[in-house]
Homo-oligomer: A and B are copies of this chain.
Amino acid sequence: MVMRSRKKSMYSFMNDYSEGAHPRILELLNKSNYDQNAGYGQDVHSEKSREYIRKLIGKENADIHFIPGGTLTNLIVVSALLRPHQCVISADTGHINVHETGAIEATGHKVIAVPSVEGKLNPKAIHEVLYYHSDEHMVQPEMVYISNSTELGTIYSKAELTHISNICREKDLILYLDGARIGSALMSKYNDLTLKDIADLVDVFYIGGTKNGALLGEALVICNENLQEDFRYLIKQRGALMAKGFVMGIQFEALFQDDLFFNLAGHANRMAEKIANALKEYGYSFYSPPCTNQLFPIIPNHILECLAAKFDFSIYKRIGQDSSVIRLVTSWATTQKSVDSLIKALSKFGTI
């Protein structure tokens, strides 16, 4: 993905982590600023957040930890749960496979990348990996990694996730769901999963705060009680047990004490949908079906150049000589005005 540097005057659809935090989060941080908290996530705010999430997923024994970022969460989960000779299966487009600078391998484990369709792991591919990895000369598959929404903005249906979950349970594989953008996935109008469904179907997942209105923070949820042992050690060892863990605890408290988390994702999705609808109307096609806050339209290069003069976004892939897939991302902070302005800019080129 080609990243382009920010010019001050332009509006950015580059990603969903450009702005600070939702005002209600900042408010709670301000309000509780002088509370004295126990360190390392053992404070009352973190505990409250855990209770909100446990209630939502209907698992009072879920183990919940707040970790500052997604790559950290991924590398902790994988290295904590695999023995040295075991590996994790991921879609070839998976974040752990391509965008974490070998973070998983740096903890000693191979990522087995399998072909994907629209960013989603093909259940058949799991069987093929298991069939092929038959003896001790090869790594031993032990975990399946998926993300929802995916790197291409797509989501798993309840049927699809259930299918993968069933395979994992039958084959004794750990199922781990990267939820960096789980809010957007759950608020997609095409979604039929609840957070509770996900907690029932996977062993471990995380709820992304960074990309849904927090300053930072991901809530790691270990549903499978057999996998919970000693996680605080494992988090500490990777440098992720934050002294001021309560800074994340407070933010998740703000996000989950009512529907704020879902509302923020809903807003991002609505903004994306408006852009997607305009693009469709003008005849653009998409590299992957638009359903969450990440859009991957295919744009003729001469139009791309004009848009790039006014808006920040990333180019995902060149398609032949004349077109490109670009990535447009909306967030809790995306304004109606900026969306209108983008649509207006598109309108100048008419239907293509």
Interface residues of A (CB under 8 A from B): 2-3, 5-6, 11-12, 14-15, 17-21, 23, 26, 29-30, 32-39, 42-43, 68-76, 79-80, 83-85, 87, 98-103, 105-111, 134-140, 210-211, 215-216, 230, 232-244, 246-247, 312, 333
Chain B residue, CB-CB nearest to A76: B239
In the complex, which residues of chain B have a beta carbon less than 8 angstroms from the beta carbon of A36? 6, 11-12, 18-19, 312
Docked Cα-Cα span, A74 to B238, in Å, equals 10
Beyond A23-B33, A244-B215, is A139–B101 a contact (Cβ under 8 Å)? yes
Total identical chains: 4
| Given pairs A34-B333, A71-B241, 4 additional interface contacts (CB within 8 A) | A26-B30, A87-B105, A101-B136, A215-B247
Cβ-defined contact, A102 with B139, below 8 A: yes
Q: Can you report 17 residue pairs joining A to B where beta carbons are below 8 Å apart?
A: A14-B38, A20-B29, A69-B240, A71-B241, A72-B240, A80-B83, A84-B234, A85-B102, A98-B138, A101-B237, A106-B107, A107-B108, A136-B230, A136-B241, A216-B242, A216-B244, A238-B239
Cβ-defined contact, B230 with A15, below 8 A: no
In the complex, which residues of chain B have a beta carbon less than 8 angstroms from the beta carbon of A102? 84-85, 87, 108-110, 139, 237
Cβ-defined contact, B26 with A39, below 8 A: no
Cβ-defined contact, B105 with A110, below 8 A: yes
Chain B residue, CB-CB nearest to A233: B85
The binding surface of chain A is classed by DSSP as loop
In the complex, which residues of chain B have a beta carbon less than 8 angstroms from the beta carbon of A101? 85, 136-140, 233, 236-237
Minimum distance in angstroms from A160 CB to a CB of chain B: 27
Cβ-defined contact, A243 with B137, below 8 A: no
In the complex, which residues of chain B have a beta carbon less than 8 angstroms from the beta carbon of A3? 135
Docked Cα-Cα span, A111 to B109, in Å, equals 11
* Central interface residue in A20, A237, A239, by most chain B CB within 10 Å: A237
Docked Cα-Cα span, A233 to B109, in Å, equals 13
B21, B136, B216: the one within 8 Å of A33 (CB): B21
Docked Cα-Cα span, A75 to B108, in Å, equals 12
Minimum distance in angstroms from A21 CB to a CB of chain B: 7
B29, B243, B244: the one within 8 Å of A26 (CB): B29
